[in-house]
Structure 1
Amino acid sequence: MNLAKFPRRGYVTDATPIEAVPAFSKALGGKVNIFIKRDDLLPGCAGGNKTRKLDFCIADALEKDSDTIITCGAVQSNHCRLTLSWAVKEGMDCHLILEERVKGTYSPQASGNNFLFQLMGVKSVTVVPGGSDMMGEMKKLEAKLSGEGKKPYIIPGGASNTIGATGYVSCAEETLQQLFEMGLNIDHMIVPSGSAGTHAGVVVGMVGCNAGIPVSGINVSRPKDVQEGIVHKLAQETAERVGVKGSIAAEEITCFDSYVGPGYSLPTDSMVEAVKLLASTEGILLDPVYSGKAMAGLIDLVRKGHFPEGANVLFLHTGGSPALYAYLDTFMD
């Protein structure tokens, strides 16, 4: 794979650390060795995984001479926060369309990412009901802004198209080089699985490099069969884009959906336990929507003996900790 042929902005200049978390591993019984790939430490306002995707997406926008970014997400979207931050850095306007997936959860006075949207000077925020056609809503805004003389560029939710997923093909390559330099053999990798770009990109990178490291996604919204289909489709399309020979087998895509709880972004007891346990043992913050639920899944799999004793398991930390501050009641209780 020659990823150098694709335009990018250079937002990712250094490899994010891979850290052992021995106190956390010990708290889970000490039979499995857990490591964390710290993509929460990526550049961009408050960090997070979307920077890798936006590195490629915004480069594409600028190549198309765009001056305005339109994107979408949930009401506390980390993707929207990071898209806005990089648009600000590039001197571009940014408009957000937020989906109120749980009725009554949006408040313009909310803390967390909602506060940061205003702090960074978002050009507009449009809130639509859960289940809305988000691409349709972005297209309507695109037409309006074009009529006003702007040159808008749409980035899909999570930057999860083949352009954005290329950022996580690169992450897989980066991770394998780090593991080689560390002399560390990883037996399994766990990633959050939501809009699918991160999960699909990592799988494509691992398959393309013949790594032999199984990758499992912990769902944050959809049922297992639906999510696996979405990830597989995007992985196949991304593999074709980056030049991976052959197709991505369906067996390469594994998702677990037992940790979603009552719905996307809605707290669960296991998520709260995961966030508190990692914070209190390692001083690392998760978020309540993605990485918290994904870590809850990892914890449960360890406790159930899913991984053999002595296994080295790598967790991809996708960031999102600013959203914690919109969930104070959940954690203070």
Structure 2
Amino acid sequence: MKTMAQDIRASSVPVVVYVSPRGAWAASAGTVITLAGHAAAMAPETAIGAASPVGGQGENLASTEETKTKEAMKALVRSYTERRRPEAVALAEETIESAKAASATEALRVGLVDFIANDLEDLLNQLDGYTVQMASGPRTLHTAGAITEEVPMSLIEQLLEILTNPNIVFLLLSIGVQAIFIELSSPGGWVSGFLGAVCLALAAYGMGVLSVNWFGLVFLIIAFVLFIVDIKAPTHGALTTAGIGSFIVGALVLFNSPGTPQFQRVSLPLVILVGILTGLLFAVIIGFALRAQKRPVITGQEGMRGQTGIARTDIDPTGQVQAGSELWTAELAQGCKAIRRGERVEVVTVEGLHLRVRKAGK
């Protein structure tokens, strides 16, 4: 913030800061950057203010540190607004001292900003003939008919913008933790572990930029532990239900703690939806686990009963059959007629390394 404000004030070209579009908010550092401009404008239905200093994770500062930081920031904004009316200077200080915010109309009324413009064309029309105060002295702007050139963000900048979206960070964190737990519960593969590590790394970057309460991670980890435990020792969904509740609480504590700016908060409907979907996913897995426990044994000798195969030799009363991709010594079941080579047989019983068979379909 300080570097940007210093660059604006030191620029040899007038810099106009425009808060747009409708619904935008020049909050926190955005307030100071707006005031640093040689001229400031806002779109209708925008806001400015709430610039009280907080810690790197959104927490309140210690008393002495808070006082020092506030006084330094108030001195800074006073120097930026000294050309404005006393009411504007007072409002600028209040945005830092008491986190006061003002609408575009309120900011214009006291002279904190210079214009309210509907769009860029409207702003250029209003700026034409306006005089700004530069370090080298006053300068009059001539913006009528000016050609505008949009400077698009680079691919890297677009990617970083996406990675600092709290909703995207939340989704990456959810997918990453889930993938890691899947890898730990069923080791041997690498896809889920690799995917989880990538998602968690990207989420860590986003959380390093956003104001988050790291205590929320405890609830998220507990949630996924409950999901995994319910798979290993099914409790008919009780732990999964508790896990969904812990998941939602953890996400809200992590991203929506008191003091977190509104634009850095995660969507509540998204948190609830992802929590429910995650719980349903694990519920489905639990369902498969329960059915697998009730499924009859289909391996070993038990699994051979009822299987069909092909007679590789005549069986009268003994011979060889191929069943279950293996070659077995076979005897006719009691009371069954001889079986010719190539006919299909059905396994009746398994006696050691021998099968008792009969002609299939009998």
Larger Rg: 2
Q: Is this a same-fold pair by TM over 0.5?
A: no
TM-score by length of 2: 0.27
TM-score by length of 1: 0.29
